[in-house]
A and B are shown apart, each in its own frame.
Chain A
Amino acid sequence: MEIVRIIDAPEPVLYAVQYTGEEIHELYRNIDLWIDPEYLREFFKTHEKDLKSYCEFHEVFYSINDAVRKTINDIENLEQVLIEKAENGISDEEEILETLFKPLHNKEKDQRYALQESKATLDEETWLRLYAIRIDKHLYVITGGAIKLTETMNERDHTKTELKKMDQVVQYLRNEDLINEEEFEKFELGI
């Protein structure tokens, strides 16, 4: 796997994994899916029951096509933030966590991973998730992403896969002696 620089000014703070066999890194690979109406329509049709449950839980209504439009809108809003940070830089960790991502208040059952909680920064709830590992102070590596319609990651195969990917990356980084264990933490970040 490769580690790709995403935000590196004034100091490197954000990287993304590019898995072996993939042509692009995980951030772009997920963005590319999340702006594709054909892929999204199929996803929401497959997970229609989960979408309905999500709507009931959050007291909103999205048809399948509405869900597609909302996803495209959400990811484009995130991109704007990321690009601004990439071009202007990030100076501290609080800014990374509170202006780049919207951490969840979601507790995973039997989870081994700490969830960073902080105040929401975006106006709307979103089901888009990026998964990242903090390997050192102010240093994050994106390992993947998913559309999360369920309460916990273990409830669905596509989100369980993201947990496995994170573990795979952790193992790789540990083998390369690239983790400061004092700062190490896994993040499921809502965007």
Chain B
Amino acid sequence: MTDIRKKIEEIAIDDTSGWKEDAKYRRANRKWLRKSQDIALRILDVLEEKGMQQKDLAEALDVSPQQISKIVKGKQNLTLETISKLEQVLGVELVGVPKYQTKMDVDKKEVKTSFGKQKRQRVAVQVDFGDVFKQPSDSDYNYRNAA
């Protein structure tokens, strides 16, 4: 070991910050944390559009400003109840279940098209939920209106 290495090792301190554990936690919980971060961004956008401060949101929800601060930092595992309350106060949809098409819908349509009239058929029903709780992206901000 060189002199410099020995000297710096003598004065260096151990890392007690917990960043490795934090990083591992975030990696293990990446999927829902991403959703939490997206919700945080949407809330911040809406607050800005409405000219609201975080403290106004806290008052409307009857929670502490610290709680709102945690939410907009994208680290909260929000309950459906909290999300619904946020949506109500902000007047926007934060998360939603996407429209889906069942196989039954498809077969009915095909039957009508083929025979020109309704016909009873036994059909198998397959439901594709797609991305459950898909959040509207920036590009489909008017998701609720479109639905």
A interface residues with partner B (beta carbon < 8 Å): 2-6, 11-12, 15-16, 18, 24-25, 27-28, 31, 35-38, 41, 63, 65-66, 68-69, 72, 76, 79-80, 82-83, 86, 135-137, 139, 176-180
Contacts and interface: CB of A to CB of B under 8 A. Distances in A.
3 closest cross-chain pairs (CB), A and B: A28-B19, A136-B4, A79-B23
Nearest to A31: B19
25 contacts: A2-B13, A4-B15, A4-B17, A5-B13, A5-B14, A6-B15, A12-B8, A24-B19, A31-B23, A37-B44, A38-B40, A38-B73, A38-B74, A65-B41, A65-B138, A69-B37, A82-B23, A83-B24, A86-B20, A139-B8, A178-B4, A178-B7, A178-B8, A178-B11, A180-B4
Given A136-B4, A177-B7, A38 B72 contact: yes
Given A15-B12, A137-B2, A179-B4, A37 B17 contact: no
Nearest to A3: B12
A28 B17 contact: yes
B5 interface: yes
A83 B12 CA distance: 19
Contacts of B15: 4-6, 16, 25
A27 B8 contact: no
- Looking at chain A's contact residues, the main secondary structure is mixed
Contact of A80 (B27, B38, B138): B27
A28 B19 CA distance: 6
Interface string B7-38: 11101111101011011101100100000011
A12 B26 contact: no
